[in-house]
Amino acid sequence: MNDMRIAERVVDSMESKITARGVQVFYGQNHALKDVDVDILDKTVTAFIGPSGCGKSTFLRCLNRMNDTIDGCVVKGSIKIDSEDIYDPKVDPVQLRAKVGMVFQKPNPFPKSIYDNVAYGPKIHGLTRNKAELDEVVETSLRRAALWNEAKDRLKSPGTGLSGGQQQRLCIARAIATSPEVLLMDEPCSALDPIATAQIEELIDELRSQFSVVIVTHSMQQAARVSQRTAFFHLGYLVEFGETGQIFTNPKDPRTESYITGRIG
Amino acid sequence: MTDVSGGPAALPVSKPRRGSLLTQDALTRRRNAAEARFKACGAVAITLSMLALVWLLFSIISIGSPAFRQTFLTIPIELPEAKLDKSGTRDPAAMAKVTTVGYAAVIQAALTKAIKEKGISTDGLTPKDIAGIVSLEAPAQLRNHVLANPDLVGQTIDFEILANGRVDGFFKGRVTMESARLDSNIKPGQLVLAQQLVEAGIMAQRFNWGFITFPDASDQRPEAAGLGVAIIGSFYMMIVVLVLSLPIGVAASVYLEEFAPKNRLTDLIEVNIANLAAVPSIVFGILGLAVFINFAGLPQSAPIVGGLVLTLMTLPRIIIPARAALKSVPPSIRDAALGVGASRLQSVFHHVLPLAAPGILTGMIIGLAQALGETAPLLLIGMVAFVRDYPGMPIDGFFDPASALPVQVFSWTVRGDPGFVERASGAIIVLLVFLLVMNAVAIILRRRFERRW
C-alpha cells in the first residue's frame, strides 16, 4: 500500500453510526471547534485531515468523551451513537469508552506484560468468565492486530520492550480486545517508520469489516490510502466532508483544494 | 572510494576565515577557565562536606563505642536462706520483703570473700570502699534474678555484677588516678584494687547487651543505663506513624492529584500543605499537647501521642513527594487506561499508583526517618520523662509511658555524670544504625518495585 492509489470506494453500509450536529468545543476562552456536523458510517474508515490546530483531534476526542479529562473543556451540540446522545447526563463515560475504543498518537502500552496489556480491557469489563476465554480473547485480538506471530512466544515479557510499530499494534490489539463498535485513531502512525505504517494501514483496512474506524492523520496520502470518507477541518470549521475520492480529486471548496495541493497548512 | 590516490585531483584548499581551530581564542579560554573554576569549587565543596561527615562519624563512634563495652565482676555469690527467705517457703511475694540493702550485704560478703581467696590486699580501704567498686544497680539486679528464680536461695551461684561507672571509666581511660584523687565518688585505692581484680580474672570487660536492652538508670548509675525502653518507644511510635500516615498521605495525594477540581480551595490546600511541611516541629508538639493530651485526654509520655504528633508532622512531608511521584507518571498511561474504558479509580489504582509507588515509598521512608529522629515535639508531650518500666505489648503498650531514642540522647547529654557522655554517643550510633537500616529497606523495596515494571 505504498502507492498513492485511492482506497476502494466500496462503502459496505450506509447506516450512520455516529451523528454529530452543531458541535462546539471550547477550551476555556478558546473556541476550538465551531458548528461541526458529521455523519460517520458503520464499517467504514473515515479520515479527518487538516493543518495542525484545526480541531480534528479535538473532535475525535469528543467522540469518546476523552475531553472530559481536560479542565475547562466544554462541548456543546449533540453527538449521537446509535441515536443515543453520548453527552446525556445519564451516560457513564466508562461505558461509552468500552464501546468506542481509542488508539493514541504515541504508542502507550501499559508497563506490564503483553498479555496483561491486551487482557486488561476484557478483565475490567467482565467480558470473560475464565482464564481460557481470556486467553482466547487475547489471542484473537493479537491475531487481528497482526502481532500474534511476533508476540506469541513472549506474552509474559513487558509490552514496553517491543519496537515502536509493534507497540502501536499492541495498542490496537488492546483497543479491539474489548470488542468496541467504533475505533478512534489519533495519528496512529506519526511516530512510526514507513514499514510499520504500512502494516498499520493494512490492519486498518482489515478492521473495517468489524468496526467503524475514525482516523486523524497529517498525511494526505495515508488518508487517501485507507479511508472511504474524508473530512477536512480548517481553523475549527469542518470545511468539506465526503467520499475520499471526491475530496482528493474534485474538492468543492477552494480551501480544501489549496490544502491538498499544498498551498495552505 | 577507499583508494585515495586514485581519487580526483586535489582541489585548492580554502583558508580559515576566523583564526585557526588549533589555537584557542580569548573568549574560548575565558569560558574554559570559568568551567574549570566551577568544577574546582564543586570538588572543594564535596570534599569539605565529606570531611565534615567523616569527622562527625569518627567522633561519634570513638566517643560512643565504649558504651557497647562494660566492666563486669564475676564472683561466686552465696545466697543464704536465713537472710533472703526467712519464711523458707520460696514464695517470691514473701521474699520481696528483703530490699536491695539486704542483697547489697550479700554481694559485699561475696566480694570480700573472693578478694581474700585471691590473696589481694585491701589495706587502707574500708569495707564500704570495697563495696564501692560495684555498681549501685548490682543489688537490684541480683534481687530481680533471685525473685525470678526463688529456688536459687541456699545455693552459691556465679553471678555477673556490674562494676561501678568510675571503675568502668578507669578501664576506658576516662578516669585516671589523678582525677580520682579530686573525685569524691572514687578513691585511687579502689582503682588499684580494681586493677588487681582484673589481673586476678575476677573483673573483665565484655560486650554490653544491657546497653540495648536495659531501661534508663538514674544519675548515679550510668553503667546500668540502657536504651531498651527508648527503642521500644521509638518502634511503637514508628508503627503508629506508618499505620496512620501511609494511608492518609497516599489517599490525600491521590485525591488532590487525580480527582480534586483545580480551584481556589484546592490551591489554598496546596499552599497550606507546603507551609505545614516548613512549620517548626516544636509547634506540632504544642498542638499535640493541646489536642491529644489536654483535650482528648490521652496519657502523657505515651507512644500513641508521640506517634500522633509525629504523624501530623510527617503527613505534609509525605504528601509532597507522593504528589510529585504521581505527577511524574506520564499522562499517556492515564489516557491509555481511560481509552480502554477504565474508570478513573481503576486507572489510578491499576496503573498510576503502581508506577508512582517507588517514589511514594521513598518519600514515605524519608518521612519516617525524619520522624524517628525528631526530638522537640516529644519533649512537649512528656516523652522526656524518666521511664524504667518497659511498655506492654501492642496495642495496650501504645498507651504506656515510654521514652524515644532521640529524647534519650537529649536527656543523657544533660546528666551530670561523665559516664553518660559515652552513653549519649552510643545512643546516637544506635539511632544512626536504625536510620541506615530504614534507608536500606527503602532502596531494596524501590528496586523490587521498579523491577516489576
Contact list in B for residue A111 (CB cut-off 8 A) is: 333, 355, 453
Which residues does chain A have within 8 Å of residue B353's beta carbon, measured at their own beta carbons?
A: none
Closest B-chain CA to A105? B332
- Please list, residue by residue across A161-185, b when 16 or more beta carbons sit within 10 angstroms of its beta carbon and e when fewer do: ebeebbbbbbbbbbbbbbbbbbbbb
Question: Amino acid letter at B339?
Answer: G
Q: What is the DSSP letter of A166?
A: H
- Residues of A whose CB is below 8 A from B343: 94
DSSP state at residue A233: E
Percent of chain B whose predicted confidence (pLDDT) is above 90: 34
Per residue in A135-194, pLDDT (tens digit) is: 999 999 998 888 888 888 999 998 888 888 889 889 989 998 988 889 999 988 887 888
Query: What span, in angstroms and rounded, lies between the C-alpha atoms of B50 and B42?
Result: 12
What is the per-residue pLDDT across B387-417, written as a single tens digit (0 to 9) for each?
Answer: 888 888 888 888 988 899 999 999 999 888 8
Q: Which residue of A has its CA nearest to B261?
A: A71
* Inter-chain residue contact B336 with A95, CB threshold 8 Å: no
Nearest CA in chain A to B345: A94
Residue B453 pLDDT > 50: no
Joined together, the cell numbers standing for residue B299 give 496519657
Quick one: B141 exposed, middle or buried, by C-beta within 10 A (0-12, 13-18, 19+)?
Answer: buried
Q: Which three cell numbers stand for residue A237?
A: 470549521
For residue B335, list chain A residues with Cβ-Cβ distance below 8 A. Answer: 66, 69, 102, 104, 108
**B339 vs A106: CB contact, 8 Å cut-off?**
no
- Nearest chain B CA: its distance from A111 CA (Å): 6
B334, B340, B350 ranked by CB distance to A175: nearest: B340
User: Domain boundaries in chain A?
Assistant: 16-107+180-260
Q: Identify the closest residue of chain A to B450 by CA–CA distance.
A: A111
d(Cα B106, Cα B84) in Å, to the nearest integer? 9
The mean of the pLDDT values for chain B is 88
Distances in whole angstroms, Cα of residue B305 to Cα of each of B291, B309, B370, B383: 10, 6, 17, 9
* Number of alpha carbons in the 13 Å side-chain half-sphere of residue B244: 20
- At residue B49 the predicted structure's pLDDT band, cuts being 50, 70 and 90, is very high
Pairing of strands A212-216, A229-234: unpaired
Q: What is the pLDDT of residue B39?
A: 97
Least confident of A57-66, A153-162, B74-83, B434-443: B74-83
Q: What is the pLDDT of residue B38?
A: 97
B401, B403, B407, B408: CA torsion to nearest 10: 140
Contacts 24+ apart (CB under 8 A), A109-112: A109/A159, A109/A160, A109/A162, A109/A167, A109/A170, A109/A171, A109/A174, A109/B336, A110/A159, A110/B333, A110/B336, A110/B337, A110/B351, A111/A158, A111/A159, A111/A160, A111/B333, A111/B355, A111/B453, A112/A158, A112/A159, A112/B453
The confidence score (pLDDT) of residue A160 equals 87
Nearest alpha-carbon partner for A222 in A201, A245, A203:
A201
Q: What are phi and psi of B204, to 5 degrees?
A: -155, 160
Mutate to test the interface with A, among B340, B348, B349, B451 (most CBs of A within 10 A): B340
Which residues, listed in sequence order, are joined to residue A25 by a DSSP beta bridge? A33, A75
CB < 8 Å to A104, chain B: 332, 335-336, 339
Q: Count helices and strands (H / E) in chain A.
A: 10, 10
Chain A residues in contact with B339 by the CB 8 A cut-off are 64, 66, 97, 101-104, 175
- Which residues of B have a CB under 8 Å from any CB of A? 261-262, 330, 332-343, 346, 350-351, 355, 453
pLDDT in the model for residue B321: 93
Nearest to B339 among A71, A102, A106 (CB): A102
pTM (predicted TM-score):
0.81
Measure B249 CA to nearest chain A CA, in Å: 24
Q: Given the DSSP bridges, would you call strands A212-216 and A182-186 parallel, antiparallel or unpaired?
A: parallel
pLDDT surpasses 60 at B174: yes
Domain A16-107+180-260 has CATH 3.40.50.300: yes
> What is the band of B93 on the pLDDT scale with cuts at 50, 70, 90?
confident
Architecture of domain B228-452: Orthogonal Bundle (1.10)
**Under 8 Å CB-to-CB from B52, ≥6 apart: which residues?**
none
Chain A hits for B332, CB-CB cut-off 8 Å, are 104, 106, 108
Q: Give residue B130's pLDDT.
A: 84
Alpha-carbon gap, residue B453 to B8, rounded angstroms: 57
Section B171-200 average pLDDT: 85
> Which of A225-239, B114-128, B314-328 shows the lowest per-residue confidence on average (mean pLDDT)?
B114-128
pLDDT score at B73: 87
Q: Please list the residue range(s) of chain B that carry CATH number 1.10.3720.10.
A: 228-452
Chain A: nearest CA to B325, how far in angstroms?
Answer: 16
Quote the pLDDT of residue B249.
94
- Per-residue confidence (pLDDT) for residue A171, from 0 to 100: 92
What's the whole-number mean pLDDT along residues B107-112?
Answer: 87
ipTM, two decimals: 0.84
For residue B351, list chain A residues with Cβ-Cβ distance below 8 A: 110
Is A200:A188 a contact under the CB 8 Å cutoff? yes
- Nearest residue in chain A measured CA to CA from B343: A94
Residues from chain B that touch A174, judged by Cβ atoms under 8 A, are: 336, 340
Which residues in chain A come in under a pLDDT of 70? 1-13, 264-265
Closest chain A residue to B262, measured at CA: A71
